[in-house]
């Protein structure tokens, strides 16, 4: 199966450098029309310039493609809506949204100012929310849309000095899990990409010998798989250095304690059984957990009776 994006319109945020640049160029190479969004600031979000976005757009146009630039700050909904209006005025539709824009303000939680926590949440989580909200009704009316949130191993597994970044990156996973349910009947598919790549945001964190393997292009191959016509739905795809894997949140089967035994002491005593992975399952809707616990309780009650 050949994947192409002919006649598709795609928005990539943070597309002036690193992963976003790679994503945008690859989408354009396969036929997509691009909105190149980038505030053009430093890694911590300060400053701003249209130059990085314009350079990427110029590359696309010189290669025979179509692209426009936007310096919208994704944390500002009014700026995002202006960007969407410009895309609609030019092409009349939006098919793909890649929420890639991000910043870093790393410090241990003890030393972190709350303003730095809030700013990272605003860009990564609320930036993804703002852009998605701005295209949502458009995609519903088209009965078509492909949206990717950018998550991270720092959010799924933790990383010292990144409480703000980790919280934001876990937040977008929760956003995906519900949004994909609401978008399913409109053929709006929502996934998350967890990249491992060497960009300015990983400067100094990765050994020199590994850098040649951790290319943005290896991550972009996974991104394109998440936004084409036959894309999956509700997937966390991890990608880096040619490796591709899926992160899944499982829930163990657990135990049942009757009312007279529902004490913290008994919960602690049963931790090994609670942690037992035998019979663990992936839930795709929240009510499935409640259903499981009620079934356990009813079975326990029947057995007692």
Residues acting as catalytic residues: 165
The DSSP letter of residue 126 is I
List, in sequence order, every residue forming a beta bridge with 147; answer none if it has no partner: 97, 190
Q: Is the torsion defined by CA of 73, 78, 84, 87 positive or negative?
A: negative
Give the phi and the psi of residue 266 in degrees, each rounded to 5: -70, -30
Longest dimension (CA), the chain: 77
Separation of alpha carbons 216 and 21, rounded Å: 9
Q: Which two tokens stand for residue 93?
A: 């539709």
| Secondary structure element (H or E) that encloses residue 226, with its range | helix 216-227
Separation of alpha carbons 288 and 71, rounded Å: 42
């Amino acid at each position: 199966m050949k994947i192409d994006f002919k006649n598709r319109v795609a928005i990539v945020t943070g597309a002036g450098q690193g992963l976003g640049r790679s994503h945008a160029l690859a989408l354009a190479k396969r036929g997509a029309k691009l909105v190149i969004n980038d505030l053009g600031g430093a890694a911590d979000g300060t400053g701003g310039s249209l130059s990085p976005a314009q350079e990427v757009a110029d590359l696309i146009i010189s290669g025979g493609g179509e692209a426009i630039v936007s310096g919208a700050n994704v944390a500002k909904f009014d700026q995002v809506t202006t960007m969407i209006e410009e895309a609609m005025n030019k092409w009349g539709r939006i098919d793909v949204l890649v929420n890639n824009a991000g910043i870093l303000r790393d410090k241990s939680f003890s030393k972190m100012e709350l303003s730095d926590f809030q700013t990272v949440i605003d860009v990564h989580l609320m930036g993804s929310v703002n852009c998605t909200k701005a295209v949502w009704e458009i995609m519903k009316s088209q009965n078509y849309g492909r949206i990717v949130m950018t998550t991270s191993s720092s959010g799924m597994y933790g990383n010292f000095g990144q409480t703000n970044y980790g919280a934001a990156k876990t937040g977008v996973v929760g956003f995906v899990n519900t949004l994909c349910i609401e978008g399913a009947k409109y053929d709006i598919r929502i996934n998350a990409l967890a990249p491992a790549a060497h960009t300015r945001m990983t400067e100094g964190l990765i050994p020199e010998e590994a850098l040649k393997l951790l290319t943005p292009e290896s991550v972009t191959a996974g991104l394109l798989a998440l936004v084409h016509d036959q894309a999956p739905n509700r997937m966390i795809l991890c990608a880096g250095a040619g490796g591709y894997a899926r992160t899944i949140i499982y829930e163990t089967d657990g135990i049942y304690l009757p009312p007279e035994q529902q004490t913290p002491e008994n919960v602690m005593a049963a931790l090994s059984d609670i942690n037992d992975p035998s019979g663990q399952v992936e839930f795709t809707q929240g009510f499935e957990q409640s259903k499981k616990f009620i079934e356990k309780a009813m079975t326990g009650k029947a057995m007692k009776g």
